[in-house]
Structure formats: C-alpha cells, structure tokens
Structure 1
C-alpha cells in the first residue's frame, strides 16, 4: 500500500492553517459577499491509496480535487473510492473558527441519499409479500388522497418518481428562506397534506418528476404496513445487519448532529453562516439521514451485491420506467461518467452535500461528503463534478 500524508504539525503548516481560518472567520464576522482571500489550504489533503494495476483509481486526479480546501465553495470534503483498488481522502477544516482539520470519520447530513434506504426497505417488504408494487396508495393508505385523485397511484410509481404528486409543504425552498425557520417543525403528514390539496400534476405513470414527496409518502407507507416507525425499520433492516453503527435518523425536532462531525456553512446575504443546527423533520424518509462515508460504502456494496434487497426486487432499482426521458429507477439515477454507466444518488441539506455511486459490477464505487457553502443551490452539482467525476476516470 502506498500512503501519503500531507498533514503536518510543523510551524509552517500551523501558520497556513491560521491564515485560512482567519480568512473564513473574517468572512463570518464581516459578511463580505466576496470570497475570503485564502493564502493557502489549511492543510494538504490526507490521503491513502491501494491500486491494482492500471485499473486502480486515478489518485492524482482525486488528490487534485481536494487540493486547496477550504475555499469559498467547500470547507471540508471526505472521499472513499473502492472496487478495483481503493483511495481515501480527507481535506479542509472541521470548524472555520478554529481551523481544526476535517475529521475523516465525521458524521454528516446525507440528504436525498436517504431515498435509497427508503427504497430498499420498501423492496424488502415487497419481497416478503407485505407490499405489492402494483398496489395503490389508495389501498395502503386509505383517506390520504382526495377524490381529485381518480387514478390509482402505485407503490412502483412512488419509487420511480412517476406518481404525479405535486411538491408538498416546505419551510423554505432555499437556505436563505428556510434559515429563519430552521428550528420549527413541519411534520411529514403536513407535507403530504399540502401536496394532496393541490390535486394531481399529471396522470400517474406518464412522466417522471424527481421530488421528495414520493418518498415522504413511502415513509408513511412503511410505517402503516409495519406498524413501526420508519427510523426503527431502517435500523433493524439496514443499519444493524450491515454494521452501519454511525447511521441514524434524528428524533423529531432534534436539530443537531450527534457524534464527531464537520460543521456546515452557507453563504446567506453575503455572510458565511453556520447552518449545522437545523430541524430536518420535514425531510423524513426523503432526506433525513445522518451517516458517515464508511457506513454508506457498506450500504452501497451490500445493496449492489444483493445482500440488502433480493432479486427480482433489486432489479427495480436498475430499471427505468417507460416514460419520456427517464433518469431514475427505484431511487437510483442512471448516469454516464467518462464513458461508464454509473448508478447512484446524491443529496444535500444546508451546509452538506453527499453522494454514493457505483458501476453495476462494483468495479468502481464512490462515496463522498462535502461541506458545501451552497449545498442547496449550484454547490451540489459543483461538488459532484469536482469530487465524483475523477473517481470514474479509469
């Protein structure tokens, strides 16, 4: 194994760290709309690699993706690449006020990566005969939909985002709008009720429209069918069997990330604001997951190997619906990166963006977390391009 460690305890590195932290703290205090002037990265990326011939990860490109952190766009990043060889990288700072280096075992908000967990639970229940994928919401959750929904919405249509449901209630569609309401609670039931009140957007199964609402309803479906909480079902069906000891869903109204974590920030009105504390109750089964890169790698590999969802139900995740221009199966998105077909899912919450992706044969896997300062805007795609694309160079 070749191992490189860029982090140093030398006085030169400590001075660089102080300079960068000072620049970010100044931005926090002064609220300048311009990017802080970074004299140098807080520390060079900490990385380790084990390659297998020419099929191993492109370590040079991956290291370059982490170089210079923290910067205006990302304050910390964690990357795990596996398959034919592996590469691990950590860069940036845990807290911009102290300049402490980022934690490679940090817990983070995984956003819509949650949907893959939700889909896996639903497909397990289907394999057990407790849910029929062609069964309807009207059958499993009577009274949830109004008479305006004259056509049945199937479980499969919820899984592949073709249900025709409109977006539900929100405490803010942007970080700026949501920040004043970050300690308020909006229940999943309230989210769904606001969606239903608008009536259907289109005939179910005719279009694919990505959105949280499909998976919010699936979370309610899981609770109705099992008579248990969604969070507990995730623990007993996914986290415990796979040894995902650092993955959890916060209790309703809990605003914190418990355990070691890198703090999240966002530019709001020209100021770099700490947005770590936030009530995510409204995201529920669509985006409430807290996890680590190691745990999500276990989940990704176990899922693709059929240890989480059995065949034929697993095929639902890799089957695009027969609608115009489809991109998603059950939760997972099909994308082509550098000539490779990759299946994965990204997600973001204020201050945090994350992603999981792999080739179907697991010859290359990727899990990353980035503390993006525009996670709910352009930052999610920018982080994916910066951190994910190099993982599939070869």
Structure 2
C-alpha cells in the first residue's frame, strides 16, 4: 500500500512527465517566429529545393554552446549536402556517437510507423481508434480517429490520478489514468491542438494490435534496421540502462514513456532518420504529404502537422522537426526542405527560465540552419 507522501510524489512526477513534451516544444517556439496567417500555417507539401542563406555560423554556435547560466552542457550536430559539424561542451561526451534519451522525439518514429501502416491499407487516418482498440476508451466518448491522435487534435485531457508504487505500468494502465471517470473527458468540438502524450501511447497500442508485434520490434523492422540506425531502439519497460558512450546522464527517468517518449538514439542516427523522412524514403507519397499538411485547427504558437511534425520558421525559412526531454536532457532535431540542412542538439539545462531557454535553443537552431 502506498503512503500519502509517495502518492503526492508520484503524482507530481507523472504530471511533470505528461507536460514535459509540451513545455519543451514551446522552448523552441519562442525563438523561432511562426507564420501569422492561416495560409502560411497551411503550406503545400514541401517538394522544392532549399534556397535559404546557408553559410554555417559556427562562431555563433560555439558562443551559444558555451557552458553558462542557461545550459551546463550542449551538443550540436549539423548535417546536409557538404555539411558536417559536431561539437560538444560542458559535461557532455565528446564522442559524436554518444547515446542519449531522445524523449518526445520518439513520437516521430511512432508516427512514421503509423503512416506506413496506413500506406499498407491496415487502416486510414479517419479510422476511429475505438475500432482498432475496442474497450480501451470509454464507450460514451465520441470516436477519436487515428489522424486526430497523430495531430494532437483528439481533445484528450491531462490525467488526474496516481499510479500505484511498484512495477512499471503497462500502456493500457497508462491510458486508464487519462480515461478515469474522475478526470476530464475530451471537450467537443475540439477547437485547437492540445499536445498530449496520451495520443502516442494509443498509437503505440494501435501499432501492436495491428501488427501483432511489439512497438520496439516494429521500430527496428521498419526504420532502424533499414536505415542502419545501430544506436536507436525502444528499451523494455523498466529498463533504465543507457549503453555507452553516454552523452549525458539521464538515470532519473520514468519507465513508462514508451511510444511517446522512451527511445534512445544518438545524433548521427537522428540525422540519418530525419534525412530519410524528409526525402520520402520511409513513406509512400500520400502519407508523405501528411508530414507537411497542417490541420485546420493547428495551434498558432506550437503548430503540429497532421503527422505530428512541429512546423517553425527561421528567418523566413520553414523548418520541421521535434523536441523532447527525458531525465536531465533536452533534445531536438530539425530539418529544412529535403533535409538540405539538419540540426540535432542535446543539452543539460542549468535554468528553468523558459525565456532564457527559448533564446538559447533558438540561437542554436538559427545558427545551424
């Protein structure tokens, strides 16, 4: 039986984990202005050639990476045709292949697998998740589609109950905390995006139910092995180990992040994955278009595409990507059209000041792109 102190601690940690992805996503937004008009927030699929200003400002990058009051350690890797630059400062491994927990960047792998399944005709963007996972959501809820889960437009609210101390919960148990009768039900109609990890827990369950294999196996079979991502995998529930070399210690983690934030990777692997994704090597054309199509109710501050990519602008250039946080690490990967330029970063924050973090991450991404 848990005591009240443990219960309060677990609840605080859970709410922090649930909100972490949204908080980290907003860090980048503050420094990278978003298009003002609805038309600009609903771009056509990216197919052209990148023509932005592309001299790498390594001096600005080095300055932004210097250990200080914003971050105690920072790693940045730049990629693209004819571009290769990696540097790490502070208490971070100097090995460019060092591993780290990628947090909510995991969602890009989840959405890629889901879109592949759509391309195979297993289900559609409009298929209600209740048809694939009967009994998982309350019977009186309105249908929530796969597309709404991918684009964070499901209306799912935050959980309001604790976990019982002990072993790592299953995905089904995690979802039960979002659907408990004591918690707020989805609000209809859904008027705007609301970033929520529950969407991607459900998508992980969709992957397993549809394929008959584990989420981890499908990521390996469909993405990691074909692309040669030797450092990229989803650990088993409760596995807190991080194989060396390690970029930054992240031992203080929760074991249930799974398909919404539990994967491990490194900078070269994330660069290769993002390049393949942006260049259409992982998806069929119809599903590739979903990567860059914005829902009608896209959030103005943190706009996610129908496939869950965060859309931002740097000096008038559109970039796509995802941020994440797990343990002490805050990370992200962004790319321009056709991956003409990619940026992967990971840092150990030294402050909780969101304004400072926005400026710092914005400087890293802007100088790199």
C-alpha distance in 1, partners of 2:124/2:329?
35
Residues 1:89 and 2:63 aligned together: no
Aligned position for 2:128: 136
Q: Is the 8 A contact 1:356 1:366 kept in 2?
A: yes
TM-score by length of 2: 0.78
Q: Distance in 2 between matches of 1:170 and 1:199?
A: 11
Greater RCO (Cα-Cα under 8 Å, separation 6 or more): 2
* Counterpart position of 1:162: 153
1:103 aligns with 2:80: no
Give the Cα–Cα distance (whole angstroms) in 2 for the partners of residues 144 and 378 of structure 1. 39
Q: Distance in 2 between matches of 1:376 and 1:112?
A: 20
SS of alignment partner, residue 81 of structure 1: strand
Shift of 1:353: 1.0
The 1-side partners of 2:209 and 2:277 are apart by 24
Q: Which residue of 2 aligns with 1:286?
A: 260
Inter-CA distance 341–236: structure 2 relative to 1 (3 Å threshold): same
Give the 3 Å change call, closer, same or farther, for CA 117–344 of structure 1 in structure 2. same
> What is the CA–CA distance in structure 1 between the aligned matches of 2:275 and 2:117, rounded to whole Å?
20
What is residue 55 of structure 1 aligned with on the other side?
54
Supply the distance in 2 between the matched residues of 1:147 and 1:315 (Cα, whole angstroms): 33
Equivalent residue for 1:50? Answer: none
Larger Rg: 1
> Alignment partner for residue 308 of structure 2, among 309, 328, 331?
331
The counterpart of 2:200, out of the listed 215, 230, 245, is 215
State the Cα distance separating 1:258 from its structure 2 match: 1.5
- Within 1, Cα distance between the matches of 2:237 and 2:271? 26
Aligned to 1:305: 279
The alpha-carbon deviation at position 261 of structure 1 amounts to 0.3
Aligned to 1:272: none
Point out where structure 2 has 5 or more consecutive residues left out of the alignment. 1-51
Alpha carbons of 1:199 and 1:137: their partners in 2 closer, same or farther (altered >3 Å)? farther
Task: Provide closer, same or farther for how the CA distance between residues 280 and 238 of structure 1 changes in structure 2, counting only shifts above 3 A.
Answer: farther
* Residue 75, structure 1, aligned to residue 72, structure 2: yes
The Cα offsets for residues 254-292 of structure 1, whole Å up to 9 and x where unpaired, read as 11211210333xxxxxxxxxxx21343321111001100
Conservation of the 8 A alpha-carbon contact between 2:76 and 2:88: no
| Number of the residue aligned with 2:333 | 356
Q: Do the aligned partners of 1:184 and 1:253 also contact (CA within 8 Å) in 2?
A: yes
Q: Residues 288 and 115 (structure 1 numbering): CA distance in 2 closer, same or farther, change over 3 Å?
A: same
TM-score, normalised via structure 1 length: 0.73
Deviations 1:345-391 (A, max 9, x none): 11111210111111123222111111234589677645522421211
Give the alignment of 1:148-297 within 5 angstroms.
148-149=140-141, 151-168=142-159, 185-197=168-180, 198-203=183-188, 205-264=190-249, 276-297=250-271
- Which segment drifts farther, 153-162 or 355-364? 355-364
Name the SS for the 2:343 alignment partner.
Answer: strand
Compared with structure 1, are the counterparts of its residues 140 and 377 closer, same or farther at alpha carbon in structure 2 (3 Å cutoff)? farther
Q: CA deviation at 1:171?
A: 7.1
2:112 paired with 1:120: yes
Q: Whole-Å Cα distance in 2 between the matches of residues 369 and 192 of structure 1? A: 29
1:176 maps to: none
Q: Aligned partners of 2:344 and 2:162: how far apart in 1?
A: 29
CA contact (8 A) 1:162 1:204 kept: no
Could you say what the CA RMSD is over the residues aligned between the two structures, in angstroms? Answer: 2.6
Does structure 2 conserve the Cα–Cα contact (< 8 Å) formed by 1:73 and 1:373?
yes
Q: How big is the shift at 1:306?
A: 0.8
Contact 1:169 1:190 in 2 (8 A): no
Distance of 2:258 and 2:53 partners within structure 1? 42
